[in-house]
Amino acid sequence: MNKNYNEEHFEILSRDNLENFWNHPSSEIYRQKGYPVLFEKFLKFPFHIFVQKSSDQKILGCFSVFILEEYPHELFFGFFQFQKFEGQGNSLSPNFDFAQLKMQTIALAKKYNKEKIIGPMDGNIWFTNRFKTQGFEYQYTFEPIGFPGLKLKLIEQGFLTDKKYVSHSIDLTPETIGLFEKSYEYSRGAGFEIIPMQQCLEESREDVIKACYELNIQGFQESHYYTPILYEDYRDFYFPILTRYDFRISFMLKNPQGRFVGYAYGLFVQDHLGPVGISKSITVLPEYQNHGLASALTYKQIQKTFELGATRAIAALIREGAKSEKIYQKLSHKKIETHEFEMFYYDCLGV
């Protein structure tokens, strides 16, 4: 098989022929991920799908280039989906031709008068973004794709780091949990209540979904290239994905008046080393921040994780410089491993 892909090994599909795309062989790997819904609901502006092929025309995978209304100067690439390749499973191939990605995206950037190319993005900051650039000894299910040497290949094409993210694997012991106990006791003394998310959903599902949506809208405003979605899309598409998994380590935070003012979402899973709790997101309304409430939620998450039999916890995909980074600074001596992820950009001005 030819390892060097060139222009003739890409087929380009645009929004104009999207209806035909779902009859295209390459659409299978998108359909499995629910992307028809995502494309129709979230990408209201021009986008193009690039189908990567081998020299014998075998479809190896796809990526997309698209526009978001909120960012008039940027063109985004993402939606990477790849068939099984050389035993790697559903992953990005080390043989992916980044020179072609650069060439195709620059051409579209000029067409739409864009100054910068950003990626990877999946249409919204709430979906799978970033490339994995360090920590390839194990691939967790929640982690973005990548391979050793990927960053170097992008740099060779003139891409630069836009933002960095990390995931920390932490040794979970009673001592670790105790570091957050004071914050939890303070929250209880102040009249706050931390309740399992599953219990809240059983009591009032619509109220919980609305609260989580509003907390995301306000709590994630600092997110890099944040783009809001409609409540109906969050309720019908995104939230059901969250609750497909074992989310026993997810909690809602109520203030003394009974209002939801924060939440912690996490997954309890089995990996190559045994059971582990994965903290995906913790957010508190701005007016309740800097009072130890995020640490109180962290306490409940890791306490429940330990109770369920895990001796490790993972803080997943923390943006460099984010407020949540401060929480895990307490645990620097407890870190087992760190995985790194990055978004990249290419400056099109002058090209």
Q: What is the DSSP string of 6-52?
A: -GGGEEEEEGGGHHHHTTSTTHHHHHTTTHHHHHHHH--S-EEEEEE
Determine the residue type at 303: Q
CB atoms within 10 A of CB 202: 10
C-alpha 74/C-alpha 62 separation (Å) is 21
| pTM of the complete model | 0.80
pLDDT, tens digit, for every residue of 63-79? Answer: 778 887 778 999 988 87
The mean pLDDT of 8-17, rounded to a whole number, is 52
Write the CB contacts of 196 (distance below 8 Å, at least 6 apart in sequence).
248, 250, 251, 252
Predicted pLDDT of residue 255: 97
Taking phi over 0 as left and psi of -120 to 50 as alpha, with beta for the rest, 87 belongs to: left
Residue 159 or residue 328, greater confidence? 159
pLDDT, tens digit, for every residue of 38-71? Answer: 555 545 566 777 776 667 766 666 777 888 777 8
End-to-end CA distance of the chain: 33
Helix (H) or strand (E) holding 303: helix 293-307
Strand, helix or coil for residue 102: helix
Asked if 158 and 346 touch (Cβ cutoff 8 Å), the reply is: yes
Determine the residue type at 222: E
C-alpha 178/C-alpha 156 separation (Å) is 46
Q: Which domains does the chain have, with CATH numbers?
A: 7-123 (3.40.630), 170-341 (3.40.630.30)
Q: What does pLDDT average to over the chain? A: 79
Q: Burial, 7: exposed, middle or buried (Cβ in 10 Å; 0-12, 13-18, 19+)?
A: exposed
Predicted pLDDT of residue 316: 84
Asked if 218 and 262 touch (Cβ cutoff 8 Å), the reply is: no
- 86 pLDDT tier (thresholds 50, 70, 90): very low
The mean pLDDT of 291-304, rounded to a whole number, is 95
Strand, helix or coil for residue 309: coil
CB atoms within 10 A of CB 115: 14
Whole-Å CA distances, 169 to 138, 177, 179 = 12, 14, 16
Which of 11-20, 99-108, 135-144, 173-182 holds the top average pLDDT? 173-182
The mean pLDDT of 247-252, rounded to a whole number, is 97
Predicted pLDDT of residue 4: 33
Taking phi over 0 as left and psi of -120 to 50 as alpha, with beta for the rest, 274 belongs to: left
The mean pLDDT of 258-265, rounded to a whole number, is 96
Residue 90 has pLDDT above 60, yes or no: no
3-state SS track over 209-235: HHHHHHHHHHHCCCCCCCCCCCHHHHH
Predicted pLDDT of residue 242: 82
Cα torsion 336, 131, 249, 329: sign: positive
C-alpha 154/C-alpha 94 separation (Å) is 12
pLDDT, tens digit, for every residue of 310-337? Answer: 999 988 878 776 666 666 666 666 767 8
Joined together, the tokens standing for residue 147 give 């391979």
Secondary structure letter of residue 238 according to DSSP:
I
> How many Cα atoms sit within 13 Å of 279 on the Cβ side?
32
Predicted pLDDT of residue 28: 58
Residue 85 has pLDDT above 50, yes or no: no
Predicted pLDDT of residue 2: 29
**β-strand partners of 341:** 132, 165
Lowest mean pLDDT among 26-30, 168-172, 220-224: 26-30
pLDDT, tens digit, for every residue of 171-209? Answer: 899 999 999 999 999 999 999 999 999 999 999 999 999
Lowest mean pLDDT among 178-182, 212-216, 228-232: 228-232
Which of 17-26, 118-127, 277-286, 315-324 holds the top average pLDDT? 277-286
